[in-house]
Amino acid sequence: MAADIRPKRPFRWHIGIFLAPAVLVYTAIMILPLAGTLQLSLFRNIEQHQVFVGLQNFRMLFGDPNWSVGFWNALRNNTWFFIIHMVVQNPIGVMLAALLSSPRLRFAAFYRTAIFVPTILSFVIVGFAWKLILSPLWGVAPHLMDLVGLKSLFTPWLGKEQYALTALSLISVWQFVGIPMMLIYAALLSIPEEVIEAAECDGITGLSQFWKIKLPLILPSIGIISILTFVGNFNAFDLIYTAQGALAGPNYSTDILGTFLYRAFFGFQLQTGDPNMGAAIATMMFLIILGGVCVYLFLVQTRLRRYQF
C-alpha cells in the first residue's frame, strides 16, 4: 500500500481561482450564446411554441431550393470575397511592410499611419464614402478617370451584377490592408540583425535577400494573417449591408453568408424573421469557419518551420 503512504498532493485551488474570471466571462459571452444558437437551430416555431425538430431546419436549408439556392450563392460569393482578399490584400500588405522596413525609406512613420488609418474607420463611413466616390452622378471617380482619358472605362460598378462583388471586395481590401502590413512589419523588425548581416556576407542582398531570408522567416505571420482573413471574411456583413442594403443587390450578386443570415434571422421589410432558420445558417457559418481553422491548424501550421534565434 505504497500509494497510501505517499503524501497526497494538495489540491491546487489557486489554478481554478486564477482561471475563474476568464472562464466565467468567456462562458457567459461566448460559449453560452454559441450553444444557444446551436440549440435554436434544432427547434422550430410551431403555433407559437418552440418544438424540437432535429435536423429538419438543415434539411430545409439544403433540400428546399428556396433556401439552398440562396445559401450556395452566398457561400460562392463569400468564397470569392475571401479569394480577392488573399490574392490582393495580403500580398500588398507584405509588400508595403517590406518597403516600410527598408531603412532608407523616408517618412516611414507617416506612410505607416496613413495606410493604417482606414482600418480604424467605421464601416458605415467607408461604405458611404466609397458609394459617393463611385457614384456615377456626383462621384469623383468618373471625373478623375475623365482627366486621364479613361472615362470610357467607367461603369457604375456597384450597380452591375458582374462587378459589384469584386468592387466591394476591393473596398474592403483598401480598408483592411493595414492589418497584414502591421503584422508583417512587426515580424520583419524582429528578424535579428546578425541574420541579415550573415546574409550580406554571403552576398545575398536586395530582392533575393527578401525572398531567401526574410520571407521564410515571416511565413508563420503570413499563416496567421491568412487565418484572420478567413475568419474575418466569412463573418463579414457590415460593408455589404451599408453599401448594398440587406437584399445585397443587384440580384443577390453581393449576398454573402452574413447578409443571408441577417435576412433569415431578423427578416426584412415584409419578410418576417425566422430565428430558427437564422440559427441554422449561423451554425453552418460556424462549422465552415471551424473547418477552415482546423485545416489550417492541423495541415498547415504543423508543417511551418519555425526558427529560434
Q: What are phi and psi of 44, to 5 degrees?
A: -145, 145
The span from the CA of 121 to the CA of 130, in Å, is 13
d(CA 107, CA 102): 11
Which of positions 273-302 make contact with another protein (CB under 8 A)?
Answer: 274
Tell the burial category of 208 from Cβ atoms under 10 Å away from its Cβ (0-12, 13-18, 19+).
exposed
Strand runs (DSSP E) across the chain, as ranges? 43-46, 49-52, 267-268, 271-272
From the CB of 26, what's the least distance to another protein, in Å?
28
269 forms part of the interface with another protein (CB under 8 A): yes
Segment interacting with another protein, rule: CB under 8 A, options 96-104, 159-167, 197-205, 288-296: 159-167
Residue from 87, 143, 271, 291 touching another protein (CB under 8 A): that is 271
Assess 136 for contact with another protein (CB under 8 A): yes
Q: Give the C-alpha separation, 52 to 43, whole Å.
A: 4
Least Å distance, CB 152 to another protein, is: 13
By the rule CB under 8 A, 234 interacts with another protein: no
For the bound state, the minimum distance from the C-beta of residue 63 to another protein, rounded and expressed in Å, comes to: 13
Which residues are registered as beta bridge partners of 267? 272
Give the span between the Cα atoms of 172 and 126, in whole angstroms: 9
**Residues within window 39-78 making contact with another protein, judged by CB under 8 A:** 65-67
Should residue 155 be labelled a site residue for another protein when binding is judged by CB under 8 A? yes
Site string for another protein, 168-207 (x = CB under 8 A): ----------------------------------------
Name the minimum Å distance from CB 250 to another protein: 6
Strand partners, 49: 46
Which CB atom, from 238 or from 292, has the smaller least distance to another protein?
238
- CA-nearest of 110, 136, 78, 89 to 258 is 78
Nearer of residues 158 and 188 to another protein, judged by Cβ: 158
Nearer to another protein, 85 or 263 (CB): 263
The runs of H, that is alpha helices, within 121-203 are 123-133, 140-147, 161-176, 178-189, 193-201
Binding positions for another protein, rule: CB under 8 A: 65-67, 131, 134-138, 142, 155-161, 244-245, 247, 249-252, 263, 268-272, 274
